[in-house]
Structure 1
Amino acid sequence: MTSPVAAPGIHATALVDPQAQLDSSVSVGPYTVIGPHVRVAAGTSIGAHCVIEGHTTIGRDNRIFQFNSLGAIPQDKKYAGEPCELVIGDRNTIREFCTFNIGSPGDNGVTRVGHDNWIMAYVHLAHDCVVGNNTIFANNTQLGGHVHVDDWAILGGFTVAHQFVRIGAHSFTAMCSLLFADLPPFVMCQGQPAQARSMNFEGLRRRGFSAERISAVKAMHKALYRDDLTLEQARARITELTEKHPESAPDVQMMLSFLQQTSPQRGIVR
């Protein structure tokens, strides 16, 4: 016999604050607690024993599995109750025992997750993290505060990123990688601390990159890691690639923009 529900899709044992804004198509599992400032869009399912609190906005068609904590206050001693936010986009899968904290007033005040991300169990997103679209976070990935992860990045199990680290688009970390420096776009890394090993060529092929674009990525790898150049010299070499590989202009610009924002103190994964 199935248990009765308090409202369509909401289990009778779930505690949903009357001020929470849930689309009528949202489903909520047993013993889940949802706070007054939570908004959830159409088609999202929330499993059993979750706690969703704070100023948390969740988009459409997400699958949130059981035992997640979303929207708790940041693990930051400076936090003093400010109305910071957690914003989650559409079509994300969030597996068991993940912890996503709201932002902090020391940054933009928002922890943000984009669309179509595949986030496995025990992932932690600290305050003010920004995650793009189409990423994969394997089990136990842990991000310190203010970490930015760009589109299509894949983080292997037990990857740990120091606060303020940036992880570029189409990059890839091996299991147990420890990031103290920025990981540029396309780069595959491994180790503690992480070291660059190659570029994510197989991932690029799967995403439909042409041979010309992949050739340009190979040239960027050579400039950054094989030719014993300073970062400034490597950037100058990379700038010239659009003449030989015009189709790769957006990829080159993305790399140059990423390197431009890298602080000399932090540097890039070498």
Structure 2
Amino acid sequence: MAKIHPTAFIDPSAQIAEDVEIAPGVYIGPKVSIGKGTVIKANTYIESNTKIGENNQIGPFSVIGTAPQHLGYKGEETFVEIGNNNIIREFVTIHRGTAYDDGITRIGDNCLLMCYVHIAHDCKIGNNVVMSNNATLGGHVRVGNRVVMGGFSAVHQFCRIGAYAFVSAMTGVDKDVPPYVKVFGIPAKIQGVNLVGLRRAGFSKEDIRKISQAIGFFLDAPATIKEVIQELKDIFKGEPVVEELIKFLENSSKQGIMRRKPFEGEEAF
């Protein structure tokens, strides 16, 4: 059966798996579900409409499933969904979605969210993401798989961070960050390919070579994004690692995509 400390409050509508551990002072509100093997540490607050998967470690003093910090929020029923095998450390805040999106703030599997990380309303976080201390996401941000964000980095609302990207500490992101790159500064600037991250993820030397060529062409080609996409398709002819970049470019947000050189009709970063 679940190991629940007598000082914890569990709403009667909450669904708690049999082997969940809940420490002193925890609050678990209505319409919360917690999967097996999850440990909720002391003084964590999980407000409502939150689904937490299996084998997660949460807290202490984390705040999850509270209302979005959005002036347009009028009490609509919105949600938080958290996958499996995540580590969520002290004082992390994760807010529910809004009716201005699909209403769900979602975190994937195997993520590490260090102390004081903030994930705002309607964000979507992939798998194996690392967010270091005080990293912050504005609303509606999309973060791809295996992204690493350094301490005190911050991402503007609606931006996207592509898979395998590295965002350095103290970096301010105000445009979409393509997959595979590393960015530094305020505002963030692309400093090259995230070679360390790609090697750690198990990419072959040949795949890294193709990624480096594709990223170099994307950054420096004197062409529009549409023209770059077509050129990448023509040059790399369906290479899976380059398709990741192409797909990202085809679905850019209204914030725009970081590049090195300005080109007609679009702004440089």
Structure 2 counterpart of 1:266, one-letter code: Q
The answer for unaligned runs of 5 or more in structure 1 is 1-6
Superposition RMSD on alpha carbons, in Å? 1.4
Structure 2 counterparts to residues 1-270 of structure 1, below 5 A:
8-243=2-237, 249-263=239-253, 265-270=254-259
Distance of aligned partners of 1:8 and 1:86 in 2 relative to their CA distance in 1, 3 Å threshold: closer
Q: In the alignment, is the contact (CA less than 8 A) between 1:216 and 1:241 conserved in 2?
A: no
What is the TM-score when the length of structure 2 is the normalising length? 0.93
Structure 2 counterpart of 1:32, one-letter code: V
Residue 42 of structure 1 and its aligned partner are, at CA, apart by 0.3
Q: In the alignment, is the contact (CA less than 8 A) between 2:175 and 2:257 conserved in 1?
A: yes
Between the aligned partners of 2:50 and 2:180, the Cα distance in structure 1 is 32
What is the TM-score when the length of structure 1 is the normalising length? 0.92
Between the aligned partners of 1:20 and 1:59, the Cα distance in structure 2 is 14
The answer for unaligned runs of 5 or more in structure 2 is 260-269
Q: Which segments of structure 1 move beyond 3 Å, counting only runs of 4 or more? A: 226-230
Residue 125 of structure 1 and its aligned partner are, at CA, apart by 0.7
Between the aligned partners of 1:55 and 1:65, the Cα distance in structure 2 is 18
Residue 228 of structure 1 and its aligned partner are, at CA, apart by 4.0
The alignment of Structure 1 onto Structure 2 pairs a total of residues equal to 259
Structure 1 counterpart of 2:244, one-letter code: M
Q: In percent, how many aligned pairs have the same letter?
A: 39
Counterpart in 2 of 1:4? none
Structure 2 counterpart of 1:253, one-letter code: E
Q: Can you list the C-alpha shifts for 1:124-164, whole angstroms capped at 9, x where unaligned?
A: 11110000101100111110100000101111111111110
Residue 207 of structure 1 and its aligned partner are, at CA, apart by 1.5
